[in-house]
Amino acid sequence: MSQRRAELLMPAGNLRKLKMAVLYGADAVYLGTPDMSLRTKSEFSLDEVIEGVEFCHAHGKRAYLTLNLFSHNRDIPKLAEYVETVRKVRPDGLIIADPGVFQFVRDHAPDLPLHISTQSNVASWLSVDFWKAQGADMVVLAREVSYDELAEIREKCQDIKLEAFIHGAMCMTYSGRCLLSNFMAERGSNQGNCANSCRWNYKLRMRLKDGTVEALDITDDNIGMFEFLLEEGCRPGELMPIEEDGRGSYILNSRDLCLMPKLDDYLKIGIDSLKVEGRGKSEYYVAVTARAYRMAIDDWYADPEGWNPQPYMAELASVGNRGYTLAFHDGRLTNYAHDYEHTASLAAWEYAGVVSGLREDAFLVEVKNKLEAGDVLELVSPIARDTVLLRLYAFENAETGDMQEVVQGGTRTTIRIPFSAFDHEDEGDLKARIPALTVLRKEKALSVEQWNRLRLDGLVQGLERTGSRNDAAYEKRRDALAAAIEADPGPRRFRTNRTGTDGCCGKGCNGCLMFWQDDQYARAREALLLRKQGEQLSRAEARSLKDHAAE
């Protein structure tokens, strides 16, 4: 087992996300300005980059700056100012893809550690050795490197740091070497401005001889009349069948990378930096993903033999995703790595709000998505393993004092949650566990189609994790999703019940009127007070308590 201890490297798309990443357990963050890195939507000014680096250092964390643009002549005059400015705050590394930029920084700031970006497509120990000879301190390996290849690179390249992606969006092409977005939307995919054209829904159209274009509507009545074939230019006569129905297809849509089920492999061989993608993603994504991997990494080092990925996968399931895949871990992609029916990021939870401040007697929470009376808010502590659950039936506007049963997301509303609302939490403990920038989540109501998508995603994760195939089960779940897409969406439903005994969700939250204010639930109160906050009643207990209350 390697003695190298891996760092958790998180993305930071703006200053607040950077602070959240640090708060929730990142050892290091990577960030950059929009004009000098592959993220045109980055929200960092150069002054904020400096502030971010200083914040990381003040908290004992590392900060890597992305300078991974492919330079044009117009970029060169800005390089000198950028390098001279950032070297004053001494970042822990500059991530570079362009050999010319690499040489420029080596010549003008030889004191700065240089990291080779994944955009350089390093996939062999020979390439790692090349960059080491040029003076690189760390190499970020291409996502296409399999685990066996990675282990061999680690074995042959002991005296340079290696970084590998473990989580985040996957590109359908070779580590971002794509021009599809440029062609379809005139947005530079390799300058961080990708339109994600690969994730669009594509449908077959036919052009008639008179120049008009018609939809080719495939139905049960006419499907037998058509067969669609591809012929590649160098293989005349070799006809390859393709299939399409009336919904179109997401033929280039990759699921999201998630190597949590194989994280122990990466820790065993001593990969120096474990990288999470997502500078353009939400605060909630940064916080919860960092929390899950922080717990997983620490638990593996504490007990490698007893480590199990499932608790952390459950945490990652609360973050919107396109379904998770192991991608190239085993050497090649399978059809399980792509979702041809559905492309949206999805989870049964959503970002409810963030603690924007603490008053002497209350939390202030900035609302992020719609809150309704009866919602259970889950405060996801960055410090403690256990979360805190609170059901509220009205929300106090912190500015006006008005009580509201519904608060709309996107209105920049801040609500006040008094500590007295937490029925059996110690106030001092609450303040210690729930600092400013703590995120809150809540369950999200999903359609039948969306629940079917999640079931298919779960099946695929299990098949990839075990290395097995079950085409019959896969096709059954895929067909159920396809049928749901075509059907009436129907009402949306939550993962758990919402109200009443017919209905208590069984989470045992603070503030649940059904448990804490009604005599008929005395046994439920007694049962829940004997266990840790947020621990759920079992199904058997819930049935027993319901039957007793009815007597």
DSSP state letters, 467-515: T---HHHHHHHHHHHHHHHHS-----B-SS--SSTTT--S---BT-HHH
pLDDT band at 204 (very low <50, low <70, confident <90, very high): low
CB 257 within 8 A of CB 143: yes
pLDDT at 388: 93
Instruction: Provide the whole-model pTM.
Output: 0.85
DSSP letter (8 states) at residue 381:
-
Mean pLDDT of 365-387: 94
Could you tell me the pLDDT band of residue 153, with boundaries at 50, 70 and 90? very high
Interval 47-69 mean pLDDT? 93
Picking from 213, 229, 230, 223, the residue whose alpha carbon sits closest to that of residue 246 is 223
Q: Delineate the domains of the chain, giving CATH numbers in brackets.
A: 7-170+254-316 (3.20.20.70), 349-443 (2.40.30.10), 497-551 (no CATH)
Work out the end-to-end distance of the chain between its first and last CA atoms, rounded to an integer number of angstroms.
60
pLDDT value of position 4:
85
For residue 421, the 8-state DSSP code is G
Q: Of 146, 345, 185, which Cα lies nearest the Cα of 265? A: 146
CB 287 within 8 A of CB 23: yes
> What is the pLDDT at residue 500?
42
Which range (46-60, 99-113, 158-172, 503-517) has the least confidence? 503-517
What is the band of 81 on the pLDDT scale with cuts at 50, 70, 90?
confident
Percentage, residues of the chain above pLDDT 70: 76
